[in-house]
Amino acid sequence: MRRRASAYLSVFLGVVLASTYAGLIATRPPLDRTAERWIEQTRKKLTLDEKIGQLIVPSFESAYLSTDSETFDELSRLVREYHVGGFHVFGASIAAPPVLLNPSYGTVILGQPFSAASLVNRLQALSSVPLLNTADFEAGVGFRISGATVFPRQMAMGAIAGDAAARLVREEARITAVEARAIGVHVNFAPLADVNNNPRNPVINTRSYGEDPGRVATLVAAYVAGARDEGLIATVKHFPGHGDTDVDSHLGLPVIRFDRTRLNQIELVPFQRGIAAGVEAVMAAHVELPSLDATPSTPATFSRPILHDLLRRELRFDGLLYTDSMSMDAITNMVPPDEAAVRAVVAGADQVLHSPDPAAAFTGLKAAVAGGRVSEARLNEAVGRILRAKASLGLHEQRTVDLDRVPVKVGGRAHQAVAVEAFMRSITLIKDERRCVPLRLPRETPVLYLSVLDYPSGWQIAAPGRTFIPELRKRYPQVTAVELSDRTPLSELDVVRATAPRYGAIVAAVFVRANSGSGRLDLSPELVRLLRDLGRSTAGTNTPFVTTFFGNPYVAAAIPEAPAVLLTYDFYDLAEASAVRAITGEASISGRLPIGLPGMFPVGHGLDR
């Protein structure tokens, strides 16, 4: 009886939520007659092969690429023979060729804006239908492309107090749109609408705005609006929610076992708000949800009950529906590329993203259409949405970008100023038991700086501490810098313990990633023990001891003895520079926790300085 009542309640809540948001859904501006005519004429003249190709989005890297090269020949073949609908733009790689169908095997570095724009233009010139290009610019175009603007991770944006968060998120999205369109990218796979309420989530973590569904929803809507301001298609992901998983879908298939009532109350809320705000694209998650689809080993990517019945019918979303990368292990370990593409399209996906074998995806879809597994109506439905998206961006009239405008549009001081404000406002002081923040020390005070790393490899575009150390030395010239990691011998940790009392202050910067592919989330036990020991040993002397956590904020809960704790939720230059300014009192601190720290502080906690 309880089960039946719970089921009725779930259905009732779903109907209520759907009807509530249905009246709030932002209407898209109608296309003009020229655009509508182009859509209809293009649809009619497309061959079967050309229609199938529109559903496939392979990738390229934005490193310099000669037109006279095997790599460019392969890209040309994807355009001319397989009629792909667009390309996904990655950064670059120093461990693999410029076209990398599965970049997890390479060491990814930043690409170049001119290289990306030039390659986009050359491929656009080859295509009979304008290409709709995508990218993962979750933290701005500078997240992938050198010289462009880098913004804080979403969790840092979620830590910004009050109405400033929505204002800065909207401005971030607007600037990202300007820079993305300048290099020929039209669809950004951001923002994440995932609610990160699992501290052990190894793949979402700081990529989420936080754990409060309402707050996440507000910022998702702000991002969608900002992207639309400058003609970029935003994408809410990973539907119907990837925030409460403890398995990285790059490595395996996560399972979310909550019932529909819980999903309505938490996971679905930001997606509904994004749809209400008029978002034009949604990305499906490689996550299994038995309460929505009881078919065993069926991720949302392959689930018609989730993608069609829930997203299309209940939530009334009629925009583009992308798969997540089909090169992720959650999919590749399950089925080959041809079958994966077919299952996704049958379920309701419009575009198959980053297949490990785009040619096989094409062949599989063609066979499925011939055999009736993918109906002509399903194919035409997807093609119609893709063409409408292209026309809405004006690609039927202008598909290439002006290379002379790239340095005018990408990067610059005005864009950087917004990013700097966002980084600074996100800094969160959660503890200051000795009132040592900001540091009030004579300039000649000897300071021990500890750069504490989860592990030393894989930092890609920057070395932890490369900005923190010189910035700290500008204020306190007598800084002794020591780098520690899980590879540091115990004898060296003992030396740090023994010498720490000689210094007038200790500043620790802790760098811990929640890394796709690594599955690691913590500091080694020896490093945790060292920081806890330093917290205890300095308590009697009242020596200033300030610890700043970069990246995974949940690690702070493992070191309750740390007397002063700041969180940045991010890495690299601007985060490190902002942390030093906060510690030394050169900028105010106003951030608030967007997530709860188990056993320590609730959502919304933070100290002002």
Contact assessment for residue 307 and residue 284, using Cβ atoms and an 8 Å cutoff: yes
- CA-nearest of 376, 374, 336, 381 to 355 is 336
Catalytic residue numbers?
250, 324
- CA 363 – CA 369 distance, rounded (Å): 10
The encoded tokens of residue 17 equal 């939520």
CATH class for domain 427-583? alpha beta
- Output the average pLDDT for the chain: 92
CA end-to-end distance (rounded Å), the chain: 55
- CA-nearest of 72, 79, 80 to 58 is 79
pLDDT tens digits, one per residue of 276-333 = 999 999 999 999 999 999 999 999 999 999 999 999 999 999 999 999 999 998 899 9
Q: Which residues make beta-bridge pairs with 288?
A: 255, 299
- CA 178 – CA 169 distance, rounded (Å): 14
Is cis: bond before 240, omega within 30 of 0? yes
Looking at residues 378-395, what average pLDDT do you find? 98
Percent of the chain predicted with pLDDT > 90: 85
Q: Which residues make beta-bridge pairs with 284?
A: 239
Cα–Cα separations (whole angstroms), residue 115 to 62, 65, 84, 327: 5, 7, 20, 24
- The amino acid present at 94, given as its one-letter code, is I
Classified as helix, coil or strand, 267 is: coil
Which residue has better confidence, 385 or 251? 385
pLDDT of 10 over the 60 cut: no
pLDDT computed for residue 252 by the predictor: 72
Instruction: Assign a CATH topology to domain 2-54+130-413.
Output: TIM Barrel (3.20.20)
pLDDT tens digits, one per residue of 46-61 = 999 999 999 999 999 9
- The amino acid present at 583, given as its one-letter code, is I
Domain boundaries defined on the chain: 2-54+130-413, 427-583
Backbone angles phi, psi at 509, to 5 degrees: -115, 115
- The amino acid present at 357, given as its one-letter code, is D
- CA 427 – CA 437 distance, rounded (Å): 13
- CA 532 – CA 545 distance, rounded (Å): 11
| pLDDT band of 565, cuts 50, 70, 90 | very high
Looking at residues 5-12, what average pLDDT do you find? 39
- CA 184 – CA 120 distance, rounded (Å): 6
- CA-nearest of 71, 136, 75 to 110 is 136
- The amino acid present at 406, given as its one-letter code, is V
pLDDT of 370 over the 60 cut: yes
Q: Where does 46-153 have alpha helices with state H? A: 48-54, 70-80, 113-126
How deeply is 359 buried, as exposed, middle or buried, from its count of CB atoms within 10 A (0-12, 13-18, 19+)? middle
pLDDT computed for residue 105 by the predictor: 36
Contact assessment for residue 122 and residue 67, using Cβ atoms and an 8 Å cutoff: yes
The encoded tokens of residue 189 equal 């796979």
Backbone angles phi, psi at 478, to 5 degrees: -95, 60
Q: Which residue has the tokens 């709030």?
A: 24
Strand bridging mode 320-322 / 281-284: parallel
DSSP 297-323: T-BGGG-HIIIIIIIIIIS---SEEE-
pLDDT computed for residue 463 by the predictor: 85
pLDDT tens digits, one per residue of 228-282 = 999 999 999 999 999 887 666 666 778 889 999 999 999 999 999 999 999 999 9
- The amino acid present at 341, given as its one-letter code, is A
**Residue 497: other Cβ atoms inside 10 A:** 13
How deeply is 334 buried, as exposed, middle or buried, from its count of CB atoms within 10 A (0-12, 13-18, 19+)? middle
Query: What's the length of the chain?
Result: 609
Collect all residues with Cβ–Cβ distance below 8 Å to 287 and sequence separation of at least 6. Answer: 238, 240, 241, 242, 245, 249, 253, 254, 255, 256, 299, 300
Alpha-carbon dihedral sign for residues 308, 309, 310, 314: positive
pLDDT computed for residue 245 by the predictor: 77
pTM of full prediction above 0.85: yes
pLDDT computed for residue 250 by the predictor: 66
Strand ranges of the sheet holding 233-239, from the earlier edge strand across to the other edge: 59-61, 88-90, 134-135, 187-188, 233-239, 281-284, 320-322
CB neighbour burial string for 113-124, b if at least 16 within 10 angstroms, e if fewer: bbbbbbbbbbbb
Q: Quote helix, strand, coil % in the chain, to nearest 5.
A: 45, 15, 45
The encoded tokens of residue 581 equal 């300014």
pLDDT tens digits, one per residue of 117-162 = 999 999 999 999 999 999 999 999 999 999 999 999 999 999 999 9
Cα–Cα separations (whole angstroms), residue 346 to 57, 317, 329, 356: 17, 17, 21, 19
